[in-house]
């Protein structure tokens, strides 16, 4: 439900009443569209930051493997990324 003003100025002709109805519908649509865009932006940033948090430990494991292979080039070291 939407209101326009306090009733001081009201549309008097049929054309101005119809214009007001479309004006209100257009304004509410734009408001909801803006809220949807900002919500989508927030959710995408949140998902992206969660993915970065999940990927970073994997990069760390890769770096540990590289360092271990440089220190012990002939040994076969197996690393588990997940518990069995």
pLDDT tens by residue, 11-56: 889 998 899 889 889 999 999 999 999 998 888 888 777 766 666 6
Residues 62 and 79: beta-carbon distance below 8 Å: no
pLDDT tens by residue, 54-79: 666 656 666 666 666 666 666 555 55
Tokens of 64: 């540990």
Segment holding 63, helix H or strand E: helix 14-71
Q: How many CB atoms lie within 10 A of CB 33?
A: 10
């Amino acid at each position: 439900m939407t209101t326009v003003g306090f009733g001081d100025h009201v549309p008097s002709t049929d054309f101005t009443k119809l214009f007001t109805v479309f004006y209100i519908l257009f304004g509410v649509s734009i408001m909801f569209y803006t809220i949807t865009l900002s919500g989508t932006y927030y959710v995408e940033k949140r998902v992206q930051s969660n993915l970065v948090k999940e990927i970073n430990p994997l990069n760390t494991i890769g770096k540990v493997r590289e360092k271990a292979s440089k220190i012990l080039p002939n040994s076969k070291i197996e690393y588990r990324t997940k518990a069995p």
